[in-house]
Chain A
């Protein structure tokens, strides 16, 4: 970076930054503050707001629906964590140079490119209780059929599995690029030392894939906490709220139940959970920036 020479240069960065910054402040930064503020009010979205202090939060912590949604978000996070290792497995499987492999790789990536609404539909069809592929497979293996999307015990896992589909594809691409950038010298040296298979993967390959793993984990956690599209299209949180997650619960309360202040409190809780990861990401990113 250079020293600033003239007046003109001092003002230039401000001008260059202004459009993006103004938009970002108006549509992202201020709304965050307004939402947090709104969570201390009772509001139906139209009439007057009433200040109620922490009442929304007290109510929230006694609301069974909230705990159910939070529990489901934790399931999402835990099971979504399968995406990075599975993505790595697929990437290792496909990291060869045979005829047609480029096409196979792109087609494997397919689920990430299509909209989650379509993914939801694809899986609703897959889980169909009477003729869906999933139940045909189950019965042919000698199990009882399961109506995944209308069964309180299975529904969340069914939706998570649908979400894992594009998420694994995403992680796979991250790892394929990482595998492409491995240092050939280190591989050669390790091979000369007699390393191979699992040992090689653990001690030589994985350390070199660290940047890919970092991004894969971050996008997976954020994806799990952001889960909305699939829940909204596949079940709308049902049956009886059993597949609800915080993101959908908030939407439901604010839009359908006109409880905007309460919705803001849910959003604030979700935001605070997410902040832990955002802070961690920023810390890592800025640290590598300084190095």
Chain B
């Protein structure tokens, strides 16, 4: 282990280290803590300039209720779910198929295709913006959840295929080969042999791209314009325009918007980190 385990050092170092990590954490999250506190403040408190002290009056229930009753926040949250969940399922499904093909079949152009998926995953969104917007409009899908979902599925397919391919490459060839010798059809091999083995990768990938898609802001601006479809990121920024003075509501709304990926992260932390670092450990 590096650095040297702290237990091997003196007691006073140990005590100060244990205190230091929590102090560092509070400093690190201070801007966020200020917003959390603000989401519990009264208007009077904010007008008095109490921006980061303890609220004079705790208004948690009132503020969070007001976010849901006087803004379309509930609608935005629902929209985000309706966009994110199908997009994650779609992207992971088509990428598992493609990743398997790239990992376990030898054919001309294999490496080139793999490189295309990786490269495409890094391009700036702006180079796609106008054509994708036009395409979505011409299919009659502008300002619909389907329009956003289709784009997310397609774009995330790049990263997901890279990810699944790297995972499947590590699976033993013998299993697949044995099934082939038995005369099992390719589709059945995929379904009954490969799929059960890639479950951990699918879990890791799903958690990761759930946050990517949930937090998307750019495409929500470009492909959607009405409150009926708008996901929570674009919703919050629209609210900021309308409620500029009501910081307690904007703060409460932001906390609500941030919650789903945070909960998912804590619930599936191991998968999440495995997903993020797969490339790093494989190099």
Contacts and interface: CB of A to CB of B under 8 A. Distances in A.
Given A24-B157, A38-B130, A107-B25, A122 B276 contact: no
A254 B129 contact: yes
Contacts of A95: 1-3
B116 interface: yes
Given A12-B105, A16-B97, A177-B277, A254 B130 contact: yes
B180 A23 contact: no
Interface in B188-244: 190, 211, 214-215, 217-218, 221-222, 232-233, 236-237, 240
A204 B2 CA distance: 10
Given A113-B211, A177-B273, A251-B129, A17 B102 contact: yes
Interface string A189-230: 000000010001100110000111011100000100110110
Best-buried of B18, B158, B279 by chain A (most CB within 10 Å):
B279
The interface size bin for chain B is 35 or more
| Centre residue among B6, B50, B153, B215 by max chain A CB count within 10 A | B215
A30 B281 contact: no
Nearest to B160: A20
Nearest to B189: A12
Q: Which DSSP category, helix, strand, loop or mixed, fits chain B's interface?
A: helix
B63 interface: no
Contacts of A246: 126
Contacts of A93: 21, 24
B11 interface: no
B158 A229 contact: no
B124 A225 contact: yes
B52 to A, nearest CB: 5
B140 interface: no
Contact of A260 (B124, B130, B211, B262): B130
Contact of B127 (A100, A205, A267): A267
Interface in B248-268: 250-251, 254, 257-258, 261-262, 265-266
10 contacts: A2-B176, A3-B106, A16-B101, A97-B5, A111-B32, A118-B257, A122-B34, A215-B279, A251-B126, A260-B130
Interface of A: 1-5, 8-10, 12-14, 16-17, 19-21, 23-24, 26-32, 34-36, 38, 45, 92-101, 104, 106-111, 113-118, 121-123, 125-126, 128, 130-133, 136, 165, 170, 173-174, 177-179, 181-182, 184, 187, 196, 200-201, 204-205, 210-212, 214-216, 222, 225-226, 228-229, 232-233, 246-247, 250-251, 254-255, 260, 263-264, 266-268, 270-271, 274, 277-278, 281-282, 285-286, 288-289
